[in-house]
Amino acid sequence: MSELVKLGLKEAAEKVKAREVSSVELTQACLDRVQARNGDINAFVTVCSDKALEMAEASDQRVKEGKSRLIEGVPLGIKDLFCTEGVLTTASSHILDGFVPAYESTVTANLWKAGGVLLGKLNHDQFGMGTANENTHYGPVRNPWAMDYTPGGSSGGSVAAVADYQCMATTSTDTGGSSRQPAFMTGTVGIKPTYGRCSRWGVISYASSLDSPSVNARTVEDAALMLRAMAGFDPKDSTSADIEMDAFDEDLADLDVKGLKIGLPTEYIEVEGLDPRIKQTVLSTAKRFEEAGAEIIDVKFPLIEYAVPCYYIIAPAEAASNLARYDGMRYGLRVEGENLVDTYKKTRSAGFKLETKRRIMIGNYVLSSGYYDAYYLKAQKVRALIARDFQNALDKVDVILAPTAPTPPFKVGALTDPVQLYLQDIFTIPNSLAGLPAVAVPSGTVEEGGTTLPVGIQFIGKLFKEKDLLKVAYAHEQMTQFKPLELKG
Amino acid sequence: MSIDAKVIDKLAELSRLEFSADAKAEITGDLENIITFISKLSEVNTDGVQPMSSVMTSSIEGEVAYARERNDEVTEENNRESYQQTAPEADMGFYIVPRVVE
């Protein structure tokens, strides 16, 4: 196996620009790796061999002409929720069978403008709905750390592909934790930027008031560079923010930990069901920062136990509305019925998996007359209170340190009860409701029945202050010296 | 919380979904558990709280407000042909749907 696949995003782009390696060589190395591993890991649902090599050749040409771009020639994996012009886009569902978009999402268009190469489209829980990457038409993704474990979800393919050295960085989406929980499960980095930082135009919608195009990579610096290439104001998305953007990947080491104020929410680490090893991981992180001169400050989140129920009203309500468009008439699957309504029903029943159906049904329940005030309106009020708690906390501190998931990684098929699965997102949902950015970073490993598995923490930051947040994540990375999974296979 | 078969049937109709008898029993149980779980929200006192429908328009004091208005202009091009290429059935610029008029 070519050692080229071990290069990170930043390093690979530098090498391509310096003509130490060509984009074609790099892309071929990743394609070979995907071919050798995809049968086991199942991270990719579509591999774009021809297109990737074509884009790589164009990249090499630009380098020759002295027209190199930010992430020149680096192969990237794209979650299959991002529309890619002329390339099959399925949302990992049966209902979008054969859907080849006639348009490119703004985020992916930005990546290609920055010199990126489309390696392929990544598996995930369909429409972003799931926490174990099992709610997919294309079969579960496996965790490269241990094949009988899940890489988490929904962005399981996005993390498995980078953890397994199949590409240098990937896009993901994060509605309630879908880039961070999988990052935690695979010893990789996941950034959920501020809501509005990355355009949602051309990203298949799940819950529009929460969906955040996100990033996965093996290091903080690479994830930061990827975010820089993806993000930016987009007039085509009415929720895109016209707010100045930093060069997220530069000067990451430029942080004086001395005097840094880190919020430690007692309610997060006292949550029932939190594995003591995860709690310890958070406390050790706090201690390391404290020893380096940071101030650890207690912050209050009295409503944490209500965040998941709040999310499971708002997200399904938005999902039920968004997914109403899949009617078998305009794109994808159609299963003929006896009449129009019967065709809708047969198409949707065959096209969605069970968890998707549950969320559509719940969404229609909480929006239906007689229940609207008790559920949907109530959830919007609780959301406001949760956002207020974050604002109060972030008035006092620079960042908040929190667990990413309540337990170490678990096995494929281990969790079947929906509510139990929903509670996996207890630590990632609250700041998503408030629109705040967060970054999940690995910390170390634990032993589970003789298997070594990664664990980590997350930092939550202020609106649009991703750069400050990433500096703290970078400092954490330097302190822990976490060793990613070794290249194997 | 228990949900009767009528509610499930109504939700399935609203959702344009259909379930076999076994699947219906399963989803009824799931929905009962989920609704019990989300009903916890009634414990929170939200008197006088303004609902938050979007991060961008939330009225949290001192927070960055970044919602914006756009001009009322048509910016989309006519892409009918390329969009209809993804349709299960389209002809002469029309989507072909099952007969709705007898």
Give me the residues of B, 11-50, that contact A with CB < 8 A. 11-12, 14-19, 27, 30-31, 33-35, 37-44, 46, 49-50
Average pLDDT, chain A: 97
Using alpha carbons, select from A99, A119, A112 the residue that is nearest to residue A170. Answer: A119
Torsion of CA A302, A207, A248, A2, to 10 degrees: 120
Q: Does B54 touch chain A (CB under 8 A)?
A: yes
Question: Min CA distance, A133 vs chain B (Å)?
Answer: 19
Q: Residues A170-192: pLDDT tens digits?
A: 999 999 999 999 999 999 999 99
At A107 the pLDDT is 98
Q: With 50 as the cut, is the pLDDT of residue A256 above it?
A: yes
At A293 the pLDDT is 98
A303, A344, A365 member nearest B44 (Cβ): A303
Q: Does B94 touch chain A (CB under 8 A)?
A: no
| CB atoms near residue A293 (< 10 Å) | 11
Please judge whether A329 and B95 are an interchain contact, meaning their C-beta atoms are less than 8 angstroms apart.
yes
Question: Min CA distance, B32 vs chain A (Å)?
Answer: 10
Confidence of residue B65 (pLDDT cuts 50, 70, 90): low
Q: Which residues contact A206 (CB under 8 A, 6 or more apart)?
A: A81, A127, A128, A129, A173, A175, A315, A318, A319, A322
Question: Min CA distance, B101 vs chain A (Å)?
Answer: 10
The chain B residue lying nearest A362, using CA atoms, is: B31
Q: With 70 as the cut, is the pLDDT of residue B93 above it?
A: yes
Q: With 60 as the cut, is the pLDDT of residue B90 above it?
A: yes
Query: Model ipTM?
Result: 0.94
d(CA A368, CA A216) in angstroms, rounded, equals 37
Residues in chain B: 102
DSSP A8-51: -HHHHHHHHHTTSS-HHHHHHHHHHHHHHHHHHH--EEEE-HHH
Please judge whether B15 and A348 are an interchain contact, meaning their C-beta atoms are less than 8 angstroms apart.
yes
Report helix, strand or coil for A403: strand
B16, B49, B95 member nearest A381 (Cβ): B49
Confidence of residue B2 (pLDDT cuts 50, 70, 90): confident
Please judge whether A381 and B52 are an interchain contact, meaning their C-beta atoms are less than 8 angstroms apart.
yes
Please judge whether A334 and B88 are an interchain contact, meaning their C-beta atoms are less than 8 angstroms apart.
yes
The chain A residue lying nearest B34, using CA atoms, is: A419
At B58 the pLDDT is 55
Residues of chain B found within 8 Å of residue A358, distances taken between Cβ atoms = 27, 30-31, 34
Domains, chain B, ordered by start: 1-42 (1.10.20)
What is the percentage of chain A residues whose pLDDT exceeds 70? 100
Contact A110, A154 (CB under 8 A): no
Residues of chain A found within 8 Å of residue B14, distances taken between Cβ atoms = 364, 368
Q: With 90 as the cut, is the pLDDT of residue A489 above it?
A: no
Question: Min CA distance, A12 vs chain B (Å)?
Answer: 36
At B1 the pLDDT is 67
| CB atoms near residue B4 (< 10 Å) | 9
B15, B50, B56 member nearest A239 (Cβ): B56
Please judge whether A365 and B31 are an interchain contact, meaning their C-beta atoms are less than 8 angstroms apart.
yes
At B61 the pLDDT is 44
Annotate A427-458 with b (16+ C-beta within 10 A) or e (fewer): bbbbbbbbbbbbbbbbbbbbebeebebbbbbb
Q: Is A272 exposed, middle or buried (0-12, 13-18, 19+ CB in 10 A)?
A: exposed
d(CA A69, CA A12) in angstroms, rounded, equals 13
Mean pLDDT of A231-245: 91
Mean pLDDT of B67-91: 87
Residues of chain B found within 8 Å of residue A377, distances taken between Cβ atoms = 51
Q: With 90 as the cut, is the pLDDT of residue A367 above it?
A: yes
Q: Residues A378-407: pLDDT tens digits?
A: 999 999 999 999 999 999 999 999 999 999
Q: Residues A2-13: pLDDT tens digits?
A: 899 999 999 999
B16, B27, B31 member nearest A348 (Cβ): B16
Domain-wise residue ranges, chain A: 3-230
| CB atoms near residue B79 (< 10 Å) | 11
Angle (deg, nearest 10), helices A49-64 and A23-41: 160
**Looking at the annotation, which residues of A are catalytic?**
79, 154, 178
Please give the class, per CATH, of domain A3-230: alpha beta
d(CA A232, CA A66) in angstroms, rounded, equals 25
Q: Which residues contact A165 (CB under 8 A, 6 or more apart)?
A: A5, A6, A33, A487
Please judge whether B86 and A331 are an interchain contact, meaning their C-beta atoms are less than 8 angstroms apart.
yes
At B62 the pLDDT is 46
Optimal mutation site among B14, B18, B24, B52, interface A, most CBs of chain A within 10 A: B52
Q: Residues B27-63: pLDDT tens digits?
A: 999 999 999 999 999 999 999 999 998 887 654 444 4
Residues of chain B found within 8 Å of residue A327, distances taken between Cβ atoms = 16
Optimal mutation site among B3, B31, B34, B49, interface A, most CBs of chain A within 10 A: B34
Confidence of residue B74 (pLDDT cuts 50, 70, 90): confident
Mean pLDDT of A224-252: 94
